[in-house]
């Protein structure tokens, strides 16, 4: 039996540059019988943003209004840039009162990482790193993998994520799963919006960043003491960085080996998360158990919101 959901759109960052992608996504949701609210946010424009800072913050703050029924899913339209500009304007106390232990899924990735980490840090609200309207649900060719994993993650109280990439060392650790986009996450170091995660399992992804830039940001996490507090670092997709002759053999693999040699915690690779066509949906703030060896890895997850 198909369950019809209420999906509320929010646009905390950039505006959609392809209206056709929005149209495709809406058509697909409507064809499945879902109700989509907040479509007007896809049409707002202010400079390079999907509305003014006040408008974009209001999208999220509406969720704190007890007079409004909560949707099942709160879905980010796209990433880009702009979430950092509204973090100070969010009603964390109201969002905590309204969303804690409720069957509501807030979903997005990329620039949405700033919202997710701020909600975790200031309100203890758990969210999902996952697909968005324009790049995923509105893609010309919809990924069946992305779609199936999205609905499975949002409706089942436990999930297991596996990978077949052979790992350099055996790993068997437990902790809170957290993370997201590397550039966005590192930009929050030293702010009140970086969650103080002790003993966590940190997952990272990024796009269009050279290996040396990725390394520099991971070093910032290392030198600031954040990585030393984690049980493991799990790397997702880092596509889009170009190779240059000047790199002289220094590539993503060399970068990972360098990071592995200095950070003092296990590094697991091959997580199917990031700016990729076939993408996992991962609960940020969930309880996690990670096992890895020469045959791949297994990540068991629980303790996150699921839809009623």
Measuring CA to CA, which residue among 294, 284, 191 is closest to residue 236? 284
- Whole-angstrom distance, CA of residue 6 vs CA of residue 136: 18
> Do 98 and 121 touch, CB atoms closer than 8 A?
no
Q: What is the 8-class DSSP label of residue 84? A: G
Is 205 marked active-site?
Answer: yes
Catalytic residue among 8, 13, 109, 110: 110
- β-strand pairing of 158-163 with 201-205: unpaired
In 182-286, DSSP assigns E strands to 201-205, 232-235, 267-269, 282-284
Q: Are 275 and 239 in contact (CB under 8 A)?
A: yes
Cα–Cα distances in angstroms (integers) from residue 213 to residues 88, 162, 179, 209, 219, in the given order: 28, 28, 18, 6, 10
Closest CA to 285 of 146, 119, 131: 119
CA dist., res. 237 & res. 245, Å (int):
23
Cα–Cα distances in angstroms (integers) from residue 139 to residues 4, 48, 89, 122, 172, in the given order: 22, 21, 31, 33, 37
Catalytic residue at 289? no
Helix and strand numbers, DSSP H then E, in the chain: 8, 13
Determine whether 209 is an active site residue.
Answer: no
Catalytic annotation, pick one of 205, 209, 215, 222: 205
- Cβ distance 100 to 33 under 8 Å? no
β-strands 35-37, 158-163 pairing: unpaired
- Please name which of 126, 88, 108, 95 lies closest in space to residue 11, comparing C-alpha atoms: 108
Active site residues: 110, 205, 275
């Amino acid at each position: 039996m198909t369950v019809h959901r209420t999906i509320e759109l929010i646009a905390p960052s950039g505006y959609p540059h392809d209206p056709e992608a929005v149209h495709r996504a809406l058509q697909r949701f409507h064809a499945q019988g879902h109700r989509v609210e907040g479509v007007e946010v896809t049409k707002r424009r202010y400079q390079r943003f999907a509305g003014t800072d006040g408008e974009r913050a209001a999208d999220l703050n509406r969720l704190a209004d007890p007079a409004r029924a909560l949707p099942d899913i709160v879905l980010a339209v796209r990433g880009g840039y702009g979430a950092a500009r509204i973090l100070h304007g969010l009603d964390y106390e109201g969002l905590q009162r309204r969303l804690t232990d409720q069957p509501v899924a807030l979903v997005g990735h990329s620039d949405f990482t700033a919202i997710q980490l701020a909600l975790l840090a200031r309100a203890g609200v758990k969210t999902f790193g996952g697909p968005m309207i324009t790049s995923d649900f509105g893609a010309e060719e919809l990924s069946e993998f992305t779609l199936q994993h999205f609905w499975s993650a949002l409706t089942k109280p436990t999930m297991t994520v596996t990978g077949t990439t052979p790992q350099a060392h055996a790993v068997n650790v437990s902790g809170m799963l957290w993370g997201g986009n590397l550039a966005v996450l590192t930009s929050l170091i030293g702010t009140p919006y970086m969650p103080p995660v002790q003993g966590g399992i940190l997952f990272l992804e990024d796009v269009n960043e050279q290996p040396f830039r990725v390394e520099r940001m991971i070093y910032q996490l290392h030198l600031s003491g954040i990585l030393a507090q984690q049980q493991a670092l799990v790397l997702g997709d880092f596509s889009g960085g170009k190779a240059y002759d000047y790199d002289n053999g220094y590539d993503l693999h060399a970068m990972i080996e360098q990071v592995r040699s200095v950070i003092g915690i296990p590094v697991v690779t091959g997580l199917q998360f990031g700016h990729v066509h076939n993408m996992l949906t991962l609960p940020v703030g969930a309880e996690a158990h990670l096992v890895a060896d020469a045959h791949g890895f297994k990540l068991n997850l629980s303790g996150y919101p699921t839809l009623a």
